[in-house]
A and B are shown apart, each in its own frame.
Chain A
Amino acid sequence: MSNSLIQINQLTVCVEEKEILHGVDLEIKKGETHVLMGPNGAGKSTLGYALMGNPRYEISGGTIYFHGKDVTAESADKRAKEGMFLSFQNPLEVPGLSLGSFIRGALEQRRGCRIKLWDFKKELKQYMEFLQIQESYADRDLNVGFSGGEKKKAEILQLLMMKPDLAILDETDSGLDVDAVRTVSKGVREFQKDKDRSLLIITHNTRILEKLDVDYTHIMVNGRIVKTGDASLVQEINERGFEAYLNQKQ
């Protein structure tokens, strides 16, 4: 158990008083990559938001332990400081706040100290090149006027800069062209290189998973995890879809 990074017990989540998740159990150990699949509306993104602590997603039951500590009632910034990260499906636009100064501010919060501009710029530049993001984007307003692909790359850039212990990727591959998916996937592999880091990849298609090492696959239907398997489950879904699971209504 000492290896456990996040442990979710019987989690129920409500949005505007409607229960979306009806008791989810999930454990991710250090270094593991989990994939969460399921049809639209199954509650996958809800789980991502609830784990990160979005106040709109009210936890009405169950617990979340992160690094062995109960974080169920903690705010998002505290969870982030403890090493959790959520890559947003629709990253928000913040006019007047540049991508570069946002990342630097976030890093300073995470590390609790000032970061030298020179060191920061050097590292940022490296990762921007790696992700094929134009250097000028560091000075542009956060996500303002970014294309869908650029927004997702900017999320992965933040992931690589922040180096969290657990990264939750919410539909990071949706709406991207083949090249962008390849770049994003390259970024995720880079993140995986550190064997202590864990991933929860939320997706409803499988393109992003092609070159990634997956340890577990979970199928979510109607707010419950209905099946857990290994990487081969991805293959199965690829071939047969979710049909077989949709009828398992409890």
Chain B
Amino acid sequence: MEGKTYVDDIDRSIYDMKNEDRDAYRLQEGLTASIVEQISKTKRDPEWMRQFRLQSLEIYNDMKIPDWGPSLDGLSMEQIVTYVRPNTKMQAKWSQVPKEIKDTFERLGIPQAERESLAGVGAQYDSELVYHNVRREVEEQGVIYTDMESALTGTYSDMVKEHFMKLVTPRDHKFAALHGAVWSGGSFVYVPPGVSVEIPLQSYFRLNAPGAGQFEHTLIIVDEGASLHFIEGCSAPKYNVANLHAGCVELFVRKNGRLRYSTIENWSKNMYNLNTKRAVVDAGGTIEWVSGSFGSHVSYLYPMSILKGEGAKAEFTGITFAGKGQNLDTGAKIVHSAPKTSSYMNTRSISKDGGVSTFRSSVVVTKEAKKSKAAVSCQSLMLDSISRSDTIPAMDIRTQDADIGHEAKIGKISDEAIFYLMSRGISEEEAKAMIVSGFADNVSKELPLEYAVEMNNLIRLEMVGSIG
């Protein structure tokens, strides 16, 4: 039995669907030490992880909910069931995945994406990985691509222990602590020195059970001189209960390594997306973020790059689309802490039907970071007079010897431009969609073709209410 959820503003039927709740078992609602113990036991955590979870829970209980951003009042922690395990074990063969789950993935286009020769698929259904397949050629290169649970006990367990939540610690903020206590699922990737992974690795996260949170952990280590493109895509069905996503992404780029991390997030419109992403880059290395934030009720998302080796580079390209009832607080942080580091932030935000989009940028240049360069460019487009767009730039520059630029533009969609397109036979809705897609092309240009198409479809879905 599969039912479409009711959506008042636009037809999101291809994204908003839910399957009958048929989970093997669920933990009682609310979070206590015994629940965390239970999670740890079920997951067969090593002892250090069990302790880590319990410590994180203590920190979580001590910390306050952030009060500087969009309201989180609608988020009832007691209601969030933190751990939902699907009725299936991890499977390597597509044919063994249960039909119901398969249908959901099929509608999201995952098998197609794989057919189109993308590297491996690690798709997370609720809190466990149900389908995981790494292409042989990637394995042959010595690349490790596995789910986090296996990584904890596998050959690379020491490496995981050494890096896990070291970049984003549980003390970072309340939801990082929560993540530390209840994290489940996610991916571990290790690319050995000098190895170039030619095809992008991708994973698809999806929430399904009502009231279930999602706390997947992504840990990627790109060793010296290696390179990787990792793609993360998210979509979730819509429910009445407040849903929470508090994932964590930790990226380590070693000397002269290169990592591109692309995300299209499309959460259902009741979701609280409180995600933490961070990268640290050694000398000569490069981190490139490509980020599209769609959906969710409230988002707090500010991927951070720490440029700690000489000549390290960071590039952040992002788009945020806030529609009716959405308050999306996004941005990026860059810390320059070594000489000759450089960064470029290029973001667009769109607000429509009363949506609120806030862009926060933070650039820190320490006194060690001489001859560094940082440039920030952010543009906002408001599609009507009831929507809001704010830009909050912060810069903390501790050396005279740095080259810093900042540019911000906030504008409304031009009626004359809409008329211009209409005078060529293009409908008003279509004209607006074309202008908005064009505005978002900083991101779509950076995405692999099929993802760019998906993003344009998302924009069309938001603008026109259909996929043409």
Contact = CB atoms under 8 A, between A and B. Distances in A.
Interface of A: 52-56, 75-77, 79-81, 85-86, 88, 91-97, 102, 105-106, 109-110, 141, 158, 162
Contacts of B439: 95-96
Contact of B414 (A75, A88, A92): A92
Interface in B424-445: 424-428, 430-431, 434-435, 437-442
Helix, strand, loop or mixed for chain B's interface? helix
A56 B419 CA distance: 10
A97 B435 contact: yes
Contacts of A158: 424
B415 interface: yes
Interface string B436-462: 011111100000000000000000000
Given A80-B424, A105-B426, A141 B438 contact: yes
Contacts of A76: 419, 422-423
B438 A91 contact: no
Contacts of B437: 96-97
24 contacts: A53-B422, A56-B415, A56-B416, A56-B419, A77-B423, A77-B431, A80-B424, A81-B425, A85-B423, A92-B414, A92-B420, A94-B438, A95-B438, A95-B441, A96-B437, A96-B441, A106-B421, A106-B425, A106-B426, A109-B425, A109-B426, A110-B424, A162-B424, A162-B425
A55 B426 contact: no
Interface of B: 414-417, 419-428, 430-431, 434-435, 437-442
Contacts of A105: 426, 430, 434
A94 B425 contact: no
Quick one: which of B422, B427, B434, B437 has the most chain A CB within 10 A?
A: B422
Contact of B421 (A52, A94, A95): A94
A91 B440 CA distance: 21
Which 7 A-B pairs rank lowest in CB-CB distance, beginning with the nearest?
A: A96-B438, A96-B441, A80-B425, A106-B424, A76-B422, A97-B438, A109-B425
Contact of A88 (B420, B422, B428, B434): B420
Contact of B423 (A80, A94, A95, A96): A80
A129 B243 CA distance: 57
B412 to A, nearest CB: 14
A92 B417 contact: yes
Nearest to B416: A92
Contact of B419 (A54, A81, A102, A110): A54
B424 A102 contact: yes
Quick one: which of B416, B424, B437 has the most chain A CB within 10 A?
A: B424
Contacts of B440: 96
Nearest to B440: A96
Nearest to A93: B417
B419 A94 contact: no
A162 B419 CA distance: 17
B424 A52 contact: no
Contacts of B430: 105, 109
A102 B440 CA distance: 16
A94 B434 contact: yes
A86 B434 CA distance: 20
Nearest to B348: A96
A110 B428 contact: no
A53 B426 CA distance: 13
A94 B426 CA distance: 14
A105 B430 CA distance: 10
Quick one: which of A79, A96, A97, A105 has the most chain B CB within 10 A?
A: A96
Nearest to B420: A92
Nearest to B435: A94
A91 B420 contact: yes
B340 to A, nearest CB: 32
Nearest to B429: A77
Contact of B428 (A54, A77, A85, A97): A77
A109 B424 contact: yes
B419 to A, nearest CB: 5
Contact of A77 (B426, B438, B441, B442): B426
A79 B419 CA distance: 12
A61 B458 CA distance: 42
B176 to A, nearest CB: 36
B425 A110 contact: yes
A79 B427 CA distance: 11
Nearest to A142: B438
Contacts of B417: 92-94
A23 to B, nearest CB: 24
